[in-house]
Each structure stands twice: as structure tokens, then as C-alpha cells.
Amino acid sequence: MHQFFPGIFFTFETVRILGMAAAGGAELAECLDAIGQIKDNDPESWHRAWAEQARKAEAIANEARASGDREAAKRALLRAHNYSRASYYMLPGAGPLSPDPRYLPLCEKSVALFRDATRFFPPGTVHRLEIPFEGLALPGYLYLPPSWRRIPGQKKAPILIANSGADGLSEEIYFMAPAAALELGYAAVTYEGPGQGLTLHRDGIVFRPDWEVVASAVLDHLETLSTAKPELDIDTGRVAVWGTSLGGYFALRAAAGDSRFKACVAVDPVHDFWDFATTQVPKAFLAAWERGWIGDGAVDAVINLGTRLAFQMKWNIATTGTFFGLRRPSQILRAMKSYTLRLPGGGSLLDRIRCPVLVTGAKASLYLDVSTHTSAVYDGLRNLKEGDEKQLWVGTTPGEGGLQAKVGALALSNQRVFRFLDGHFGIVREHL
């Protein structure tokens, strides 16, 4: 694969941005302009380059408004949103719980740009949600396919609930699967749960491992909304849950905990967050810590030294600590052990899943080893029939879905995701 930068981290995140182009989230030449201004492992140059492209895209949107071009305004605002999101992404601040002061205002700006763009979608396509959850109102969106995209012969649209992962906004998730869902006659929902987006960075609500509780609240709200507004024509009896990376873990937890989910798509999922940690820190060192041979202070000192020597380590610790609401690396590592599909007394949450599941993996993943995560999930679905109720797809090269979360290959990913869902939701499309 072509490397935009010497380091894989900046290259991967660049491909992530470029991959949104198919759904209107990027323009190739604008991205090339930004890439030319970025120095590897230099977060300030990354910030400046993408902030400049966000400003230019917003200016293009204003030109389009002035000339009455709704489509150009929409697309420019979507790009401005995505570039704005990218502009703060590499700002780790001083460490966990010590954010860069630019982070939250830029996050809010990114969300505002996306919401502005939704004004130019076809009427009735986008509905803002406030999902009741333990005294909170989780922000989200319900996307409805326009009448000309509805599935022939089916009055109600099946629903895809798309979970964000560890570091995305629900607005960004629109580019990854919901945009394709609308083209195929599906309704889609995106939302931010605890530890995600503004729910985390503005409201201070941190991650929780039992995501089935969160996902069930989203489904409860959808059912209430469908009853109150039958004209929405959404089919709460055909709901699929989808997620990538840590969002794939969330999707599997949802399917294990709530039988109302009738299909699950786990795109390059995490099986056990602790297993991921062991790929970032030497296993022998972690084993010595677990056995009590070295203390928390030594772990903190070694990892903090690593954050001073390697930008990606600094970013990982700052970002993960903020998700969990924890400051010390030793605390962060311990918290990761709670995010697992293994049960404390043995067995697996995967044994509880009864709906069909599509599991994917990525051979060229920056983060997750296929044998440790993808295979563990697929093999753990012991109650599902292979090839029918459970299916496996492992991408090899980037163009074949080989990068984590299928970045850069979203069209192929969505083709296979919705073929799987069509098959299990009784949707038969005319051969072309």
C-alpha cells in the first residue's frame, strides 16, 4: 500500500478521511492539498492542514447557498464537517483528562456543520433524536430513505442501528454505513452513547462495557417513536445492529443482550480490549505486573516514558484515558479488562447470540490481529450455523477491505453488509 507518511498512524487516518469521499465526506484534491502540508507525527501541522480545508469547504458552501445550489451546499458542508473533525483528532492535550483547549470547540463546530448539511437533504430524510438514558438525553439521528429509494413491495423500512467505536462521532458514522443504507431503502440510526463524541467531551459521561444496556435504550426509543409516529414507516421487527472496531464489540454485546436485534454486523471487532493492550505493551512486562512483581508506579513510569518518545503512544494513552475517565496508565490498563466478550466464570457472551451475525476481519489492521479478535469472535458463535447464520469475511489488501474498520473500502464493505442483511430480512432485489 502507498504510504502518505513514513509512519502508519498518520497514513491510516488519512485513508480514513479519503474513504469518506464516496458518501460526500471528502474531495480528493482537497485532501491532497492538506496532505502536502502535514509532517509525520506532527499534530500541529495535521491540525492546521485540515482546519484550513474545513474553512475552505465552508466557504464553498456559502457560495453555493448564495447561488441557490442546495446539493453543492450540502456536499461542501459534509466535507467541512469531516475536515473539522479531522482537525482536532490528533490533539492529545497534556494527557488523559487534560484536553487541548481547542478540542471541544472544534468538536462542537464539526457537529454544527453536519447538522447544517442535513438541512439540504431531501425533506423528511433526517430526524434529530434525543434518546432517554438514565437521566440523560443521548444525541442521535434517524435517517429515512426517500420515497423513491424505498424497497418495492415493502411499506416499512428495515432499520440499521450503527454504533460508533472508540473515537468517532455519530455524524462521521453517517459516511460509513447509513449513507449506503438509505440508497438501498433501509432506515438508519446513529447515536452517541457514554464515552463517545459530545456525550464524553462536553458532558463528561465515560465509557461503560455493558453496551447492551445502551443499545436496548436506543431500541426502546425507536419503538416508542414508531408507535407515536406511524407515518415514519420503520420496521422495528427488522432491526440490525452494526459497528466497527470497538463498535463491533458494542454491536455484539447488543445482540447478546437483546433478542429484538434480528441481525448483527461486527466489522473488524474487538474481542477483548486487554488482548489489544498486550500488543501495545510488552507481554512479559504486563505479566510481571499482573503477578505483582512490579507495581503500578513502575507501569506508569514506563508507559509515561513511552508517551514522551512516541507520538502514537501519547495519543493512545491520552485518548483511552479520557474515554474511561482515568489519568494513570495502570488504571487505564485495568479498565480495559472489563471490555471483553469472555465471562468471568468461563464461557462467552457470544453463546447468548441467536440472531445471524456477519463478522469481518482485516489482515492489514493497524490495531487488531485477525487470529486474536476476528477468529475468536467467529469461532465463539457456537450456537449459529456456519455459512448461513454466521458468515466470515477477512479482507487482505486495502482495496479488499484489509484495513481496520474497512477504511478506504467502504463501498465493498457496504455491498457485502447489505447483501447479508437482505438475505436475512427477506429482501429480494431484481437481478440486473
> Which residues are paired to 187 by β-bridges?
159
| Enclosing H/E stretch for 178 | helix 178-183
Confirm if 221 and 162 have CB atoms less than 8 A apart.
no
- Calculate the CA 314 to chain-centre distance: 21
Confirm if 394 and 416 have CB atoms less than 8 A apart.
no
Per the structure block, which three cell numbers stand in for 75?
456536499
CA distance 314 to 329: 11
Task: Please identify every residue annotated as catalytic.
Answer: 245
Confirm if 259 and 249 have CB atoms less than 8 A apart.
no
Q: In what order do the strands lie in the sheet with 263-267?
A: 126-133, 136-143, 187-191, 157-163, 234-244, 263-267, 357-362, 390-395
- CA dihedral sign, ordered 77, 82, 87, 91: positive
CA distance 265 to 352: 16
